Amino acid sequence: MAAILSESILQDFDPHQLHPLQHPSTHANALVVERADGVYLHTPEGRKVLDGMAGLWNVNIGYGNQELPEAAREQMSRLAYTSNFAGMTNVPSSQLAKRLAGLAHPTLNTTFFTSGGSEANDTAFKTARYYWQRLGRKDKTKIIARRSAYHGITLAATYATGLSRYHTMFGPPLAGFLHTIDPYPYRLAIAQQAGESAGAAAARALAELIEREGADTVAAFIAEPVQGVGGVIVPPDDYFPLVRAVCDKYDVLLIMDEVICGFGRTGRWFGSQHWGLRPDMLAFAKGITSGYLPLGGLQISDAVREVVLSAPASEMWMHGYTYSGHAACCAVGLKNLEIIEGSALVERSRELGAYLLAQLQPLREFECVGDVRGLGLLCGLEIVADRETRTPDPARATAIANACLARGVRTRAVGNSTLALSPPLIITRAEIDHIVQTFGAVLDSS
């Protein structure tokens, strides 16, 4: 059967669809993707684009793998779905929970499944509040996040998200969500004290916010290991150990949002492991299935589990989604983890991430490149209007991203004005070279 051409899709069919973050100006020339393999997307007209973003930071094992559809087919023909509410369970969700036990940290052994990252974070916020209610500390309800945080798009996740462009149009903010500064050495939002590192200053800002609000009112602090949508912000190494100490001091739960960083993206199974962190809860999604089916979840520590499960039935944790522990999604998750492990993709991300970062560094020769940073296969090139003042230049970052796409390489302008790279972990050195050459050619001509 002849493929339906992009023009027809965009004119005859797609206008019936409301897209995420849709605006006519960004959607008019949408890329119609008909199929994909490896790191490449293909249009109906045969145009090939190297996907430097792995979809939305999630297609970790790359496109076109045939083992995942086979795992889905096998599971769906046996049992596609059944309720996983208490009183029932299924085989793949139990097995996947067991597989995840201890993978991020020895104290994270219990998983609640969701369909994506926003639901995982909502679950974390409710569980943090529940935890303190159960312990009789009923005023501990506030959630602190960072100003450039992105935690998703459900109502609560929207207001945990610090980036104001995601909420100003939806009316007054939800009460109880606060934001502290980012551990962003290139743009640190407070003055450092004498001898104080950027990481220590950012951790101090968190402590000061907790003090101002009153520790008795703060339930949890949520943070991405590396902030993705906020601009690929890689924290200084001393930041998270200091944050853990602050959380311990003030009895504040630490929620790590590993929705982007989980499953090898940063060169470890989980980003938190770079700093030996002990999260109280850990949210994941995206890379758990490499995006082949929707799945996310929240891991809770043994201590949190103890509090959740010891409640009397009348006060039990009343939380669950229809698709919690979806059998087919969990079967695909299990197979995906097998592939990540069997193909040593975590190690590959570490090695090729270092290569990508090293290849990107010479692009600093271009006046508009203010900073180059990354961890594993998660890198960012910050574009500025002026190097001295570090003035962001979002229009230029978007124009560069568009020009790269025109030359067959997909990147995305995020944060202030940072070009993100988060390719499938199967990417080769030659494909990385192609991305960097394309960036260089575009920067040269812009």
Ligand X SMILES: Cc1ncc(COP(=O)(O)O)c(C=O)c1O
- 304, two tokens: 């949190």
Is residue 150 close enough to count as binding ligand X by CB under 6 A?
Answer: yes
CB-based contact 52:421 (threshold 8 Å): yes
Amino acid identity of residue 306, one-letter, is E
Q: In what order do the strands lie in the sheet with 296-301?
A: 108-114, 296-301, 281-284, 253-257, 218-223, 142-146, 177-180
Is residue 287 close enough to count as binding ligand X by CB under 6 A?
Answer: no
Residues 398-437 within binding reach of ligand X (CB under 6 A): none
- What does the alpha-carbon distance between residue 63 and residue 50 come to, in Å, rounded to a whole number? 11
C-alpha closest to that of 326 among 75, 109, 108, 122: 75
Phi/psi at 173 (5° precision): -70, 160
Q: Which is nearer to ligand X, 110 or 114 (CB)?
A: 114
Is residue 163 close enough to count as binding ligand X by CB under 6 A?
Answer: no
Q: Which is nearer to ligand X, 201 or 260 (CB)?
A: 260
Phi/psi at 16 (5° precision): -85, 0
Window contacting ligand X (CB under 6 A); options: 212-220, 257-265, 378-386, 418-426? 257-265
Q: Which is nearer to ligand X, 58 or 75 (CB)?
A: 58
Q: Which is nearer to ligand X, 207 or 378 (CB)?
A: 378
- What does the alpha-carbon distance between residue 19 and residue 28 come to, in Å, rounded to a whole number? 12
User: In angstroms, what is the minimal distance from the CB of 411 to ligand X?
Assistant: 16
Is residue 345 close enough to count as binding ligand X by CB under 6 A?
Answer: no
Is residue 272 close enough to count as binding ligand X by CB under 6 A?
Answer: no
Residues 33-72 within binding reach of ligand X (CB under 6 A): 56
User: In angstroms, what is the minimal distance from the CB of 26 to ligand X?
Assistant: 17
CB-based contact 147:224 (threshold 8 Å): no
User: In angstroms, what is the minimal distance from the CB of 51 to ligand X?
Assistant: 15
Is residue 321 close enough to count as binding ligand X by CB under 6 A?
Answer: no
User: In angstroms, what is the minimal distance from the CB of 289 to ligand X?
Assistant: 11
- 143, two tokens: 């959630």
Is residue 151 close enough to count as binding ligand X by CB under 6 A?
Answer: yes
User: In angstroms, what is the minimal distance from the CB of 173 to ligand X?
Assistant: 18
| Distance from chain centroid for Cα 31 | 23
Q: Which is nearer to ligand X, 57 or 132 (CB)?
A: 57
Work out which of 104, 178, 229, 277 binds ligand X, going by CB under 6 A. 229
Q: Which is nearer to ligand X, 51 or 431 (CB)?
A: 51
The Cβ of residue 175 has, within 10 Å, a number of other Cβ atoms equal to 9
Q: Which is nearer to ligand X, 61 or 255 (CB)?
A: 255
Is residue 228 close enough to count as binding ligand X by CB under 6 A?
Answer: yes
Is residue 393 close enough to count as binding ligand X by CB under 6 A?
Answer: no
User: In angstroms, what is the minimal distance from the CB of 304 to ligand X?
Assistant: 19
- What does the alpha-carbon distance between residue 232 and residue 222 come to, in Å, rounded to a whole number? 17
CB-based contact 263:287 (threshold 8 Å): yes
- 394, two tokens: 């979002």
Work out which of 52, 55, 62, 117 binds ligand X, going by CB under 6 A. 117
Amino acid identity of residue 245, one-letter, is A
Question: ∠ at Cα 120 (17, 209), nearest 5°?
Answer: 115
- By the criterion CB under 6 A, which residues form the site for ligand X? 56, 116-118, 121, 150-152, 224, 228-229, 257, 259-260, 285, 296
